[in-house]
């Protein structure tokens, strides 16, 4: 047996959204049923380097398949200026749960982008109005691309409004998608008025107000991944049908972390976890719902499910580089 080394291009090529979205949904369901193990994300703080490491292990049994792995990811804010490296980089080790053999080592950065978009698509499928045709995106960085790629697999998106402080980033986004969608630049308010809104920014001062949102807009709050980050006004969270991915992670570092820890928002304001909706324990969008919000912090089970999809296809297609990591060859 050999281990597959899969770079970012390999991950991109083998992570088709029409298969990735169902796999992420199955991961949420397994977690809700108790068929997954996901220890809390652990941190190694490195203040002397203005960065940190995070480890994210998980195992899940989706019924027809099971999978295990761990993602090792960093956030080093000076990387671009000092080393010409990305701020965030990740490496995924995907293992066979039967015998622990390392089946693949994957680029975790591309994997994270793909599974983050897929998670938003799962929430959108359950919480957005059925005839949603417009998507607003606030933040035109790398995460914005997979938001559109994934969400357009669960809703017939025709019109896209993208907002960002950088005109250059907006122009690149429009250039990437203008042949497939009616996509244009707009203000935060114009993006927020769409049927679906995805926010993918690192801000700590809320930029989306209640007044800006449409009457039945579904919001995917994807940007908050650390204490203090906060994209949506407290009033949005208090008035919305509020769904989270994981209680511990969202209260610590998700969109709700600031108002929750300030006592502005409490447990009674949280409708439930996305897994409860996926397995049918709680209803998704109903006729009486107005604004809905999905607070996504990103879970290790998503990484494992995404790695499963990528590895299966890469193995079938002879993608990547197979090597004898453990020195087991005769």
Tens digit of each residue's pLDDT, the chain (330 residues): 899 999 999 999 999 999 999 999 999 999 999 999 999 888 899 999 999 999 999 999 999 999 999 999 998 989 999 999 988 899 999 999 999 999 999 999 999 999 999 999 999 999 999 999 999 999 999 899 999 999 999 999 999 999 999 999 999 999 999 999 999 999 999 999 999 999 999 899 999 999 999 999 999 999 887 788 899 999 999 999 999 999 999 999 899 999 999 999 999 999 999 999 999 999 999 999 999 999 999 999 999 999 999 999 999 999 999 999 999 986
CA–CA dist 51, 88 (Å, integer) = 10
Q: Is 304 part of any known ligand binding site?
A: no
Tell me which H or E stretch contains 312.
helix 300-317
Asked whether residue 29 is marked as a ligand-binding residue, the answer is: no
Q: Which of 41, 71, 114, 241 is catalytic?
A: 71
The CATH number assigned to the domain with range 3-111+300-323 reads 3.30.1780.10
Class in CATH terms, 128-295: alpha beta
Query: Residue for token digits 């203000």?
Result: 187
Give residue 224's pLDDT: 81
At 41 the pLDDT is: 87
- Contact status, residue 195 vs residue 132, Cβ threshold 8 Å: yes
Measure the N-to-C terminal CA separation of the chain; round to a whole number of Å. Answer: 11
Is residue 21 part of an annotated ligand binding site? no
pLDDT of amino acid 304: 98
**Rounded to 10 degrees, what is the CA torsion of 104, 105, 109, 115?**
20
- Residue-level pLDDT at 225: 78
164 annotated to bind ligand: no
Q: Is 223 annotated as a binding residue?
A: yes
Give the pair of three-digit tokens for residue 114.
């793909």
Residue 115 labeled ligand binder: yes
> What distance in Å separates the CA atoms of residue 205 and residue 8, rounded to the nearest whole number?
32
* Cα 169 to Cα 142: distance, rounded to the nearest angstrom: 9
3-state helix, strand, coil in the chain (%, to 5): 35, 25, 40
**Residues whose CB falls within 8 Å of the CB of residue 318, separated by 6 or more in sequence, listed in order:** none
195 is known to lie in a ligand binding site: no
Domain ranges of the chain: 3-111+300-323, 128-295
Active site residue 71: yes
Tell whether 296 is in a known binding site: yes
DSSP string, 194-253: SSEEEE----SS--B-TTTS-TT-EEEE----STT---B-HHHHHHSEEEES-HHHHHHH
């Amino acid at each position: 047996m050999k281990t597959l080394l899969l770079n970012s291009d390999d991950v991109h090529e083998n992570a088709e959204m029409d298969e990735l979205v169902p796999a992420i949904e199955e991961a949420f369901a397994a977690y809700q049923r108790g068929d997954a193990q996901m220890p809390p994300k652990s941190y190694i703080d490195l203040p002397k380097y203005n960065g940190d490491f995070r480890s994210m292990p998980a195992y899940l049994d989706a019924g027809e398949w099971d999978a295990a792995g761990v993602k090792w990811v960093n956030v080093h804010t000076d990387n671009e200026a000092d080393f010409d490296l990305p701020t965030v980089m990740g490496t995924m080790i995907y293992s066979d749960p039967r015998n622990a053999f390392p089946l693949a080592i994957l680029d975790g950065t591309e994997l994270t982008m793909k599974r983050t978009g897929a998670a938003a698509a799962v929430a959108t499928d359950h919480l957005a109005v059925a005839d949603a045709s417009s998507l607003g995106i606030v933040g035109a960085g790398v995460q914005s691309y997979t938001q559109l790629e994934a969400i357009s697999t669960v809703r017939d998106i025709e019109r896209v409004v993208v907002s960002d402080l950088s005109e250059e980033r907006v122009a690149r986004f429009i250039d990437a998608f203008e042949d497939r969608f009616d996509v244009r630049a707009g203000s935060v308010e114009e993006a927020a008025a769409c049927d679906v809104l995805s926010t993918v920014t690192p801000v700590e001062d809320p930029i989306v107000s209640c007044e800006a949102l449409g009457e039945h807009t579904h919001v995917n709050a994807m940007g908050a991944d650390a204490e203090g980050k906060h994209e949506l006004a407290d009033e949005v969270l208090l008035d919305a049908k509020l769904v989270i991915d994981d209680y511990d992670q969202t209260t610590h570092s998700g969109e709700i972390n600031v108002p929750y820890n300030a006592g502005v928002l409490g447990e009674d304001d949280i409708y439930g976890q996305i897994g409860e909706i996926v397995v049918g324990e709680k209803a998704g969008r109903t006729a009486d719902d107005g604004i809905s919000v999905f607070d996504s912090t990103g879970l290790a089970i998503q990484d494992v499910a995404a790695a499963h999809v990528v590895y299966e296809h890469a193995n079938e297609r002879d993608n990547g580089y197979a090597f004898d990591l453990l020195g087991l060859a005769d």
